[in-house]
């Protein structure tokens, strides 16, 4: 069996369509604001100038776009779970046992196998939730960024990118969806998200624990892993869509991150990185608008 697959090797049946993040970022319509299920200026009047300029706002059931925004996000969670399952499976298989930098301890493989078990359950739950929300499998495109992070040849960077950064994002997203389920009165969404959230805390904690254990005598390797995690955190702050700010569509779930082994300092760093991502996105938008006006 092949080891160390590339993201291009990721197989899907005909229902799934791959969408590149570059296509989304380079959408010429981005001058105006968000994706199709964002909020337009009329809906953002109370959000202040910053959110209004980029169409972001809290995901609440009473927003006009709420039903399709929730469906789109749930489908994104679903494809993320498939990739998380595949990623954990790769990490379980791709490395020989040992103590060397290109090897992993048996206990780490055991944790990855445990994660596979959890993620396959999440796939099943997500399929049922997408069905209950009236969404077809493959109705929305799939960006393979989570699996891409799991393709890193260094097991430690995989844990940093997937378990700490992307599963950390999953904590924030599931927390948001759990609140959405509660406020909307959906009898299953809140409980399913809460159940999956508990597992994600465990997965992130696995990443936190292994990062510390594998680098206890190698601070340089730890610094590289944390830097990679920070890059992924920033990339997937969704242009500021995930942050500590009250008006963010996805709020940083501080309490759950603490349970997952993040220190307050680390959480503050993620909040800072998210703020930077938001400012950079605002600046890019302003520059593109200026170019368009001049042209």
CB of 261 to other proteins, least distance (A): 35
User: What is the rounded CA–CA span in Å between residue 288 and residue 266?
Assistant: 33
Which CB, 140 or 210, lies closer to other proteins?
140
Which CB, 25 or 223, lies closer to other proteins?
25
Binding residues (CB under 8 A) for other proteins: these are 17, 19, 23-24, 27-29, 31-40, 55, 61-62, 64-68, 70-72, 131-136, 138-141, 184-187
CA quadruple 85, 74, 168, 40: dihedral sign: positive
CB of 20 to other proteins, least distance (A): 9
* DSSP sequence for 160-203: IIIIIIIHHHHHHHHHHHHHHHHHHT-TTHHHHHHHHHHHHHHH
CB of 185 to other proteins, least distance (A): 6
CB of 239 to other proteins, least distance (A): 14
Which CB, 23 or 124, lies closer to other proteins?
23
DSSP state of 33: -
Which CB, 141 or 261, lies closer to other proteins?
141
User: What is the rounded CA–CA span in Å between residue 14 and residue 132?
Assistant: 22
Which CB, 79 or 196, lies closer to other proteins?
79
Long-range pairs for 218-226: beta carbons < 8 A, 24 or more residues apart = 218/101, 221/101, 221/156, 224/156, 224/157, 225/156, 225/157, 225/159, 225/160, 226/160
CB of 157 to other proteins, least distance (A): 30
């Amino acid at each position: 069996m092949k080891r160390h697959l590339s993201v291009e090797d990721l197989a899907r049946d005909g229902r799934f369509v791959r969408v590149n993040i570059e296509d989304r970022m380079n959408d010429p319509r981005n001058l105006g604001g968000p994706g199709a299920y964002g909020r337009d200026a009329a809906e953002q009047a109370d959000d202040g100038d910053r959110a209004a300029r980029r169409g972001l706002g809290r995901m609440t059931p009473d927003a006009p776009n709420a039903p399709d925004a929730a469906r789109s996000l749930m489908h994104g969670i679903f494809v993320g779970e498939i990739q998380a399952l595949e990623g954990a499976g790769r990490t379980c298989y791709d490395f020989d046992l040992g103590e060397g930098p290109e090897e992993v301890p048996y206990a780490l493989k055991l944790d990855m196998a445990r994660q596979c078990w959890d993620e396959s359950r999440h796939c099943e739950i997500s399929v049922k939730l997408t069905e209950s929300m009236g969404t077809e499998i493959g109705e929305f495109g799939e960006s393979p960024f989570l699996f891409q992070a799991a393709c890193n040849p260094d097991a430690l960077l995989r844990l940093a990118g997937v378990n700490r950064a992307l599963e950390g994002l999953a904590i924030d997203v599931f927390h948001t969806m759990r609140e959405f389920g509660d406020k909307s009165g959906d009898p299953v969404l809140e409980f399913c998200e809460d159940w999956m959230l508990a597992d994600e805390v465990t997965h992130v904690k696995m990443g936190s624990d292994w990062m510390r254990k594998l680098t206890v005598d190698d601070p340089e390797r730890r610094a590289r892993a944390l830097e990679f995690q920070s890059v992924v955190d920033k990339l997937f702050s969704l242009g500021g869509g995930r942050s500590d700010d009250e008006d963010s569509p996805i709020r940083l779930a501080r309490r759950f991150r603490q349970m997952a082994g993040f220190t307050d300092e680390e959480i503050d760093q993620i909040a800072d990185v998210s703020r930077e991502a938001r400012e950079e996105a605002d600046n890019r938008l302003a520059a593109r608008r200026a170019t368009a006006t001049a042209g």
